[in-house]
Amino acid sequence: MVHLFKNSYYEGLLQDLFCGKDGFFTVFMHFFYQKNQIFEYYPDFYKDFCELLDFELKACSRLCELIIELGGDAKFYSSTKKYLSGSGVDYVKNLHAILELDIELVEKGRIDLKNVYSKVENANLRASLNEILILKNEELNILKNAYLNLENLNKK
């Protein structure tokens, strides 16, 4: 764990990444729901979704650590105190649609993370955000490979 000084501005930025409208924990809930559906309907892709869930849990956990170190509480709400709910999860069951949605969500998360990164001057916090970006890049690679595999299966 890096040692950061209390900073409510940075804490608010990270709180929105964590539990904002399309925050990382919403993506975690997507992956959790989808992993359970994949198990039943698309077992060939189950391992991919287990990995996605693992990477997203690591990203969420790291964000929580940083939020707490910056003086926050890492509650399940945005910086404006709008509470997170399962209503943000898309409960689609078509694998093609799931993968397209997930690629879009992860891409948006990467953009949001890069936006926060650009606002942070603290080198230790920037290094931690870069570690989280690596996790998001891994997620994107898994999703794109799964999408390609599904396309190849559909061609047969």
CB 77 within 8 A of CB 19: yes
List alpha helices for the chain, DSSP H: 8-19, 24-41, 46-69, 95-119, 123-155
Instruction: Measure the CA dihedral 98/46/108/128, to 10°.
Output: 170
CB 14 within 8 A of CB 66: yes
Residue that is written with structure tokens 């001057």 in the block: 121
3-class DSSP state of 77:
strand
- pLDDT exceeds cutoff 80 at 1: no
Report in angstroms the alpha-carbon separations of 77 from 25, 28, 54, 90: 10, 14, 22, 19
- pLDDT tens-digit map of 39-93: 888 999 999 999 999 999 999 999 999 999 999 999 998 888 889 888 888 898 8
Residue that is written with structure tokens 């929105």 in the block: 16
> Rounded to two decimals, what is the model's pTM?
0.93
CB 112 within 8 A of CB 17: yes
pLDDT of residue 121: 95
CATH number given to 8-151 = 1.20.1260.10
- pLDDT exceeds cutoff 80 at 151: yes
- pLDDT tens-digit map of 93-138: 899 999 999 999 999 999 999 999 999 999 999 999 999 999 999 9
pLDDT of residue 2: 61
Q: φ, ψ for residue 83 (rounded to 5)?
A: -70, 145
DSSP state of 87: G
Domain positions in the chain are 8-151
pLDDT of residue 40: 87
